[in-house]
Amino acid sequence: MTVNDAIDRYAYYLVAERRLSTHTVQAYGRDCAEFARVLEARSVASIEAVGASELVALLAAMRDRGLSARSRARVLSAVRGLFRYLMREGVVDLDPTADLRRPRQEKKLPTTLSRENVSALLDVGGQDDCLVSRDVTMIELVYATGLRVSEVVGLTMSQINLEAGFLTVVGKGRKERAVPIGSYSQRSLTQYLEHVRPMILAKPGATGTTRLSQDVFVTRRGRHMTRQSFWQRLKKITLRADVRQRLSPHTLRHAFATHLVEGGADLRAIQMMLGHSDISTTEVYTHVARDRLREVHKKFHPRP
């Protein structure tokens, strides 16, 4: 079987059987394409002919291009998944990735926001601009729930239970979880749904069809927000709030988790709200909290 045919079959399996999201499948496809380019350069056309030397060449090529250990590990993970699938299907007899070590990664702590900067973002006035009001509501919701950006822009009306104060979210791996909203975000979301959203959908650019949209967060054309558009809107709110820090929607998610840890929240509860499959992913926030405590001690203790 050719390398490209093997990758195509793997992609179909991820969609049809694993039911992964389009975004995730595309990411796997890009990583496997990186692998295919290295094999082509080595004149390896058949997937059965791939051995450990080709994988070493793949890692070396990525290192020479300046890719980080994290990026190299991600590509290796995609290729490992490809060969596990091919072995189950009987296409190959051996997994050449079995004895290959994962590139060692530097432990990078997530970027977060101070409580003061979060408050500055949420205090941006939006009474005169319904789109700004929408943006601040999204920021409030991400900070209150720790949702991923793809989860918040993909929210539909049926996922919200304002009376109970919960959202139902379908996250990575199509796993469903319930996340509490919190009273502040609950009030903000109620205000948005009752007053701001109808104003946006009533604008001239929104067609009759889009006015019936079930998307929670909509654009002036009546369509649902995209990850990219939310990122751009967040940058504008950051400038308006005079927050002098580069941030992304994921930074708000980090702030949510970090501030919960600092407040003494149970790590397992945070793991469930974030939708992490492994507790070790959540544990990184304990390191962030410790660093913050160390800074406070150094700054305010009379004998630091």
**What residue spans define the domains of the chain?**
3-88, 115-300
Give the C-alpha separation, 304 to 300, whole Å: 8
Q: Is 148 an active-site residue?
A: yes
In the set 172, 227, 240, 287, the catalytic residue is: 172
For the beta carbon of residue 20, count every other beta carbon within 10 angstroms.
Answer: 19
Instruction: Write down the pLDDT at residue 207.
Output: 55
Distance CA 163, CA 171 (A): 22
Helix (H, G, I), strand (E, B) or coil at 266: coil
pLDDT tens column, 18-43: 888 888 889 899 999 988 988 888 88
Q: 268 catalytic, yes or no?
A: no
The CATH number of domain 115-300 is 1.10.443.10: yes
pLDDT of 105: 58
CATH number corresponding to 3-88: 1.10.150
**Is residue 285 among the annotated active site residues?**
yes
Catalytic residue, chosen from 9, 63, 240, 250, is 250
Q: Quick check: is 224 catalytic?
A: no
Q: Is 102 a catalytic residue?
A: no
Of 74, 134, 233, 253, catalytic: 253
Higher pLDDT: 49 or 110? It is: 49
pLDDT band for position 108 (50/70/90)?
low
Summarised one tens digit per residue, pLDDT across range 184-228 is: 999 999 999 999 999 888 876 655 555 567 899 998 888 888 989
Give the predicted TM-score (pTM) of the model.
0.62
